[in-house]
Amino acid sequence: MTVTKLACALFAAFLAAPLPSSAQLPLPAIAPPGPSSSSQQIHLDVVVDSKSGQPVNYLGQQDFTVLDNKSPRPITSFKVLTAAQEPLSVILFIDAVNTPYELVGDLRNQTEKFLKANEGALTHPTSIAVLTDDGVQLPKAFSTNGMALSNDLEHRQIGLRQFNDTTSFSAGDRFLISIKALHELNLFAARLPGRKIILWISPGFPLVSGPSYNPLTFKAEETIFRDVIYFSGELRQDRITLYNIDPVGTAQTTFSENYYQTFVKGVTKPVDAQLADLSVQVLSAQTGGLALVSDNDIAGMIQKCIADAKSWYEITFDPPPTGKPNEYHHIEVRVDQPGLVARTYTGYYANPVAADTGH
């Protein structure tokens, strides 16, 4: 059975049965990345921010240090790139499943405001995807004509929510829809050339685990860990950077705003896995993107994310040898210039190995 068919089958089976407690929550197991070797180069797309928040493009290889598990690694290739030199695609992903219904209309209007700015002249080929209770409406076409994309968005059907936000059934249901959507969007973007920027406009997935929930079973922890490995490898290898824009704005609680930061450091073993490790905020930070909150200017936040695509650095290095399966390696890129911060993929799993999760 293919990965997509497996995910669909698990998803359908879940919807057909009553939702168990979070400790028994069945997750859609996704196949890990293909065979990997420690000799394969690690490719990084690195954005360097100045204090003003604008990316800089005047640095040389000598200004960078790459650390793998705190150990310096020689840089094997180095380029300074812009979207004019290499293909770059932008996907605006409107999440109507996890966004409160009363905010969906404003979300749509703010996105159209961004598309219509500067008389609709977009700097990069852009497309629109929408997530509803029925699943993902994948991009129809890419265009630099924001007016045409705005017209397309106006005609998209974003229906009424079918699930009650207050029920545990809704939380588990929406989580599975979200993970399946991320998988489908990843497969779609993987076929595009060059670098890909995905702006997921949403408060984030319901996590249905954590301090206020029952502990997960070992089987659930193992499945989450495999999915973490999958997305970590695929997003990096497919050169996808995720961004999360929270449309709740200043109404978002401090706890909800900051909870994801606990999980950005990465998970090293199944027993430590939580559903929050798969949250869009965590994956955004781990791919070198941003998780933007506490701002009601959705159009402005979209523009802030797009600014990252003005220029970036392409850096590769050889990872150290290892024989351990699923060994997590933390990546850090340092810049030898005051006031500058580098953002890129924060880690990788050496020798990803499939395991029987019982599915």
The answer to whether residue 327 sits within a structural domain is no
CA distance 263 to 282: 7
Task: Please check the confidence at residue 2 and state whether its pLDDT lies above 70.
Answer: no
Mean pLDDT in residue range 145-157: 91
CA-to-CA dists, residue 18 to 58, 98, 117, 167, 224, angstroms:
57, 20, 46, 12, 20
The answer to whether residue 319 sits within a structural domain is no
Task: Please check the confidence at residue 241 and state whether its pLDDT lies above 60.
Answer: yes
Its pTM stands at: 0.85
The pLDDT score that the predictor gives to residue 237 is 95
The answer to whether residue 318 sits within a structural domain is no
What are the tens digits of pLDDT across the range 289-317?
999 988 889 999 999 999 999 899 999 99
Beta strands in 63-159 (DSSP E): 64-68, 71-73, 75-81, 88-95, 121-132, 135-137, 143-145
Domain range for 201 is 3-39+82-309
Helices (H), the chain: 3-16, 101-116, 146-154, 168-190, 218-237, 254-258, 280-286, 298-307
**Number of Cβ atoms within 10 Å of the Cβ of 232:** 25
What are the tens digits of pLDDT across the range 67-86?
999 999 999 999 999 888 99
The answer to whether residue 269 sits within a structural domain is yes
- pLDDT-derived band at 258 (thresholds 50, 70, 90) equals confident
The answer to whether residue 196 sits within a structural domain is yes
The answer to whether residue 242 sits within a structural domain is yes
**pLDDT averaged over every residue in the chain:** 83
The answer to whether residue 346 sits within a structural domain is no
- pLDDT-derived band at 259 (thresholds 50, 70, 90) equals confident
What are the tens digits of pLDDT across the range 87-115?
999 999 999 999 988 899 999 999 999 99
CATH number for position 94: 3.40.50.410
Identify the bridge partners of residue 64 per DSSP, sorted by sequence position: 335
The answer to whether residue 144 sits within a structural domain is yes
Q: Which has more confidence, 208 or 195?
A: 195
What's the structural domain count of the chain?
Answer: 1
- pLDDT-derived band at 8 (thresholds 50, 70, 90) equals very low
What are the tens digits of pLDDT across the range 180-207?
999 999 999 999 999 999 999 999 888 6
The pLDDT score that the predictor gives to residue 84 is 87
